[in-house]
Structure 1
Amino acid sequence: MAIVTLNPATGRPLRSYRELTARELDRALDRAARAFADWRRLTFPQRARHLRALARELRRGADQFAALITAEMGKPVAQARAEIEKCALNCEHFARDAALFLADERPAGAPAHRYVTYQPLGVVLAIEPWNFPFWQVFRAAAPALMAGNTMVLKHASNVTGCALAIERIFHRAGLPRGVFQTLVVGGARAERLVADDRIAMVTLTGSTAVGRRVATQAGAAMKKGVFELGGSDAYVILADADLDRAAELCAESRLYNTGQSCVAAKRFIVVESVRAAFEEKFAAALSARRPGDPTDPATQLGPLARADLRRELHGQVRRSVRAGARVRLGGAMPRGPGHFYPPTLLTGVKPGMPAFDEELFGPVAAVVSARDEAEAIRLANLTPYGLGAGVFTRQRRRGERIAREQLQAGNAFVNEFVRSHPTLPFGGVKLSGHGRELGAWGIREFTNVKTISVR
């Protein structure tokens, strides 16, 4: 069966790819298992040299890789270049610090003859999405490989070219054959791999629906998993917030990657006393973002990645309007080629509307009014998701208290928009998944935390 990629800015086909046969897939898993036996025996400095070589290859081909991202999923090319650089930084971070993160340790109070060691698990199956086609892969691969595992990748079909380019980067960087492989297969075939005895662990970033299926399979096979799933992040704007800063950062968070991010702000819970002023500033900030050809470095807003995603997003907007929401900006399906959708601002959004209850994976913002701080926090948490959240207030201690103790999310920021960083754990609660990536917490997810006792 063939996989065909399309250019979302034009709707035209890019390339066709042949799926692996059952025999080819079996051989790939065998290679990964054999490679693990040797890769795990390398020292941290030896593996680190390979990771630094990956960073060099990423930077060497940054323009080429950014162009490929833009062609396959429509990301504005300036943002695509930034994505490549973040991947390189992540490789360097784990090359530098993995030995420290995974050093043997004796917990306080433990017997003198006992200690904890972190050992690799084996072959990791990575199931990754299209919205950050390089970052999502390297976010998992850098810590997993530095911990001593090998990896097989099932990438989203619409970024198959990116998936194969990533595999070539590993080859060019000189990593041993079988340490990292891309599997060109459909989603259903990849999910069945979870039960294969050669797979030790699964890591998945994607929708909650897919995450539930794969987590069920991993649980049935008693295999470890890290799942970063959907989000409907809420940003709380309190009465004392700097509204100019809040509006600008909220617009940046909502429209970055054309709004196609699990951790992008989607619901904006505003205390009623400043709602009208915030809406005006927010609408202006959204309108100022430049849409257009994603290959133009000046473009800030590209097309959505697929036609079905645009239809689904527009359906959510129309159903919300029928339920009582008002369109202050955008909201019309554009004509012409490509899968473009305008920056859209919905006001008067309430629980029970799709714009409140569902994940909006595109450039649509929902403003929700709250009487006061207490109701704003209640509405922010009134969601099955819990990936990221933010609060805007001039009182930093107040904001920190709300972020630390009251917002139900794996990441809560004060006066800035939520984003990941290689040094800090990233992940969610509730239907946004479980487990963590990045930092010391993330690399330890890819290990067997083993107690050793020696007399």
Structure 2
Amino acid sequence: MKAINPLTGDLIKEYETLSSSEVSAKLERSERAFLSWKSLSYEERGAYLRRVSEVLEFRRRQLAGLMAEEMGKPVKAGMAEIDKCALVCSYYAEHAGQFLKQEQVNTDASESYITFQPLGVILAVMPWNFPFWQSFRFLAPGLMAGNTAVLKHASNVPGCALAIEEVLREAGLPADVFQTLLVGSSEVEEIIKNPIIKAVTLTGSTGAGMKVAGQAASLLKKAVLELGGSDPYIVLEDADIDLAASKCAESRLINTGQSCIAAKRFIVVEQVAGRFIESFKEKMAARKPGDPMDEQTEIGPMATVNLRDELHEQVQKSIKAGAKCILGGNIEKGPHAFYPPTILINVKEGMPAYDEEMFGPVASVIVVKDEAEAISVANSTVFGLGSAVFTQDLQRASKIAESMIDAGCCFINDYVRSIPELPFGGIKQSGYGRELGVYGIKEFVNVKTIYRP
């Protein structure tokens, strides 16, 4: 397993992968750790999670540098990611006991109630784009619920995967409550088949999610899937155009555009399309690529050259089909994986820029006649993760957000992001289940009914 620097193309380090027997031994240790971990009180588990939060904050610059080196995230964004991980640990340390407090229910019994019990060892299959946040947004609620966990991380961020284990060990968590498994994707099915694994959570592509979902379902094991997205951002005729353009540019370029919930399709009513495109182009062009180790850099290289080339192919196919590139769209020479902020206009159905997820800093602008057409275009996708609507009529915005857009969330006059307090996830081919909030911690527990006559 090799870690390659996307800025230079150089090999950072090569890692030995685990054998099947080594994986089995780790799972057995995780199962033994579960027996003692689940017996701790929420207060005791919370004390460990608070120490994890402290270690993360102490090591934030070093961990951000590791992300920059392995997958190109600018260190400024990396430090913000570590801060968010620390926050989610503190959040669940404080609230898990209340979220999973037994619920009394009035029935014909003398007493009946619902209790929430951990399932056991959970497998997490996580991606490279937010190598710490994606893992901790499962780990914090999962561990606080009393489960133990094993992590199969993306193969291009092995250093980050091992660093997560180091952080938890440094915080003093009991041995084997959390373990990293350095294995390839081809090994996931055998891990899911192991009877020790009680459930699986995956964040990744729709294809990977379908495969894991089928494997888990064949064994009647629960899965939570957060998959791809082609998030629509609707800009209506009464929107604050400068605000909309700023939020849209910020969302499109989060993590160099490599985010499931980054804005992808910008659906603009024709009455304001010219003004929006002009402002949007200005704000996209202002973000310049640079060395991710430089704290002034806003956009780093993409995670791999292959991902950059796949994105460029989507752009070129869209242009050949009639789209017009008004910003970026070119690849500079060199070993790096940079791709410039790019805007495509005249985007129509049948183009990759319309139909597919563009996982990089490429924006697809789609001009529509009115609100009705905007909503129709927004929903004309196999995905349903995030969405946003921009209008100064808040009553109108709430109606659209609540009942007209098919997505797991809709933000009004702002860009989509995941935060500890709110449930996060999608519908359609963006997956199922929820992370974060009270719903996230209840995904991997046994909701058990207790009845006494």
Q: TM-score, normalised by structure 2?
A: 0.99
Aligned to 1:56: 54
Aligned to 1:169: 167
Aligned to 2:286: 288
The one-letter amino acid paired with 1:70 is A
Aligned residue for 2:254, secondary structure, equals helix
The one-letter amino acid paired with 1:300 is E
Matches of 2:108 and 2:390, distance apart in 1: 43
Is residue 431 of structure 1 aligned with residue 429 of structure 2?
yes
Matches of 1:81 and 1:351, distance apart in 2: 39
Is residue 5 of structure 1 aligned with residue 21 of structure 2?
no
Equivalent residues of 2:123, 2:150 under 8 A apart = yes
Equivalent residues of 1:290, 1:298 under 8 A apart = no
Offset of residue 109 of structure 1: 5.7
Aligned to 1:350: 348
Matches of 1:261 and 1:185, distance apart in 2: 24
Aligned to 2:389: 391
Offset of residue 108 of structure 1: 5.7
The one-letter amino acid paired with 1:252 is E
Offset of residue 110 of structure 1: 7.2
Pairing partner for 1:209 from 207, 210, 215: 207
Matches of 2:264 and 2:342, distance apart in 1: 11
Aligned to 1:227: 225
Aligned to 2:85: 87
List per-residue Cα deviations over 1:94-124 (Å, max 9, x = no partner). Answer: 0000000000002466744111010000000
Correspondences of 1:240-255 after superposition (within 5 Å) = 240-255=238-253
Correspondences of 1:22-41 after superposition (within 5 Å) = 22-41=20-39
Offset of residue 290 of structure 1: 2.4
Aligned residue for 1:157, secondary structure, equals coil
Equivalent residues of 1:98, 1:147 under 8 A apart = yes
Offset of residue 344 of structure 1: 0.3
Is residue 309 of structure 1 aligned with residue 307 of structure 2?
yes
The one-letter amino acid paired with 2:315 is V
Is residue 15 of structure 1 aligned with residue 13 of structure 2?
yes
Aligned to 1:117: 115
Equivalent residues of 1:124, 1:151 under 8 A apart = yes
Aligned residue for 2:253, secondary structure, equals helix
Matches of 1:369 and 1:112, distance apart in 2: 62
Aligned residue for 1:421, secondary structure, equals coil
The one-letter amino acid paired with 1:65 is L
Equivalent residues of 1:348, 1:369 under 8 A apart = yes
Matches of 1:376 and 1:74, distance apart in 2: 35
Q: TM-score, normalised by structure 1?
A: 0.99
Offset of residue 337 of structure 1: 2.9
Unmatched 5+ stretches in structure 1 = none
Aligned residue for 2:426, secondary structure, equals coil
CA shift in 2, pair 1:8/1:221, >3 Å: same
Pairing partner for 2:323 from 322, 325, 342: 325
Matches of 2:395 and 2:23, distance apart in 1: 54
CA shift in 2, pair 1:277/1:23, >3 Å: same
Matches of 2:59 and 2:108, distance apart in 1: 49
CA shift in 2, pair 1:319/1:435, >3 Å: same
Pairing partner for 1:440 from 435, 438, 441: 438
Aligned to 1:374: 372
Aligned to 2:41: 43
Aligned residue for 2:363, secondary structure, equals strand
Instruction: Point out the more displaced range, 190-199 or 59-68.
Output: 190-199
Matches of 2:431 and 2:339, distance apart in 1: 28
CA shift in 2, pair 1:111/1:270, >3 Å: farther
The one-letter amino acid paired with 1:381 is N
Equivalent residues of 2:110, 2:452 under 8 A apart = no
Correspondences of 1:402-413 after superposition (within 5 Å) = 402-413=400-411
Unmatched 5+ stretches in structure 2 = none
Is residue 401 of structure 1 aligned with residue 418 of structure 2?
no
Offset of residue 236 of structure 1: 0.2
Offset of residue 23 of structure 1: 1.6
List per-residue Cα deviations over 1:293-330 (Å, max 9, x = no partner). Answer: 11111111110001110011000000000111000100
Pairing partner for 1:419 from 394, 417, 420: 417
